[in-house]
Amino acid sequence: MKMVICTRCQKVNPDEAKFCQNCGFTLDPSTKTGQMPLPSGKADEPSRRLKLRIAGLAVIGVAIMISIVGVSNPTLFFAPSLLHPNVTVSGTLSMASGQSPSQITFTDVGDIANSAMSSIQGNSYSVVVPNGHSYNIRIDYSYQYQYQYGCTADEYFFRTCGQGDYCVYDGVGYSCTHNETRTGLCSGGPLKVNVSSSTMTFDIQCS
């Protein structure tokens, strides 16, 4: 249906009207239109919808990029301790000559009640600890200690000393050589365990 728009007040009038029904202004036939004009505020509706659609597509695109990057490199979005709650720490153990390690203890700096004992095979060790913590390290070891002390001619005759050692005569005097096993320890740390994998290499030197 044809309409005539008043050029003064923008009132929409019927096609047959000569004067504006709102302000009485003489209508111009050239303002006839084939459709009702959009209400105020609706003229920019298509552009608003387009903007919303573009914004939605942008959000979807960002989400897809985050998911792709997260799969290829998850540590960018997740703490290592969430991806790998437990870590196997292993490495070589260097000791001074004559020292034999008996136990390696990893004690959590933040929770001393949380400690882990490592397994030892030759000069290698391995222990499983929670990721994202710091640890103090203690190595208990044993070694052979030897010392000499004097003995008497009677002990030499019976070939035994007071501690069950063997009494000998070296041409100058009598003496016994005693051997015993003693223990010691060395410590270090703190060692920060915060890795993006389930394993960590750390070599320990105790001397």
pLDDT in tens, 121-173: 888 999 999 998 999 999 999 999 988 888 888 888 887 887 778 889 888 89
Entry pTM = 0.54
**pLDDT score of 184:** 92
Note whether 22 and 9 are within 8 A (CB).
Answer: yes
Helix, strand counts (H, E) of the chain: 3, 13
Greatest Cα pair distance, the chain, in angstroms, is: 150
Phi first, then psi: what are they for 198, rounded to 5°? -90, 0
**pLDDT score of 63:** 65
Residue 136's region, left for phi above 0, alpha for psi from -120 to 50, else beta, is beta
**pLDDT score of 61:** 67
Kindly provide the residue ranges of all beta strands, DSSP E only, lying in 38-166, ordered along the sequence: 86-95, 100-108, 115-117, 119-121, 124-130, 133-150
**How far is Cα 45 from Cα 59, in angstroms, rounded to an integer?**
21
**How far is Cα 32 from Cα 46, in angstroms, rounded to an integer?**
23
Residues of the chain with pLDDT under 70: 1, 31-47, 61-81
**pLDDT score of 138:** 92
- Domain covering 80-145+177-206 in this structure, CATH number: 2.60.40
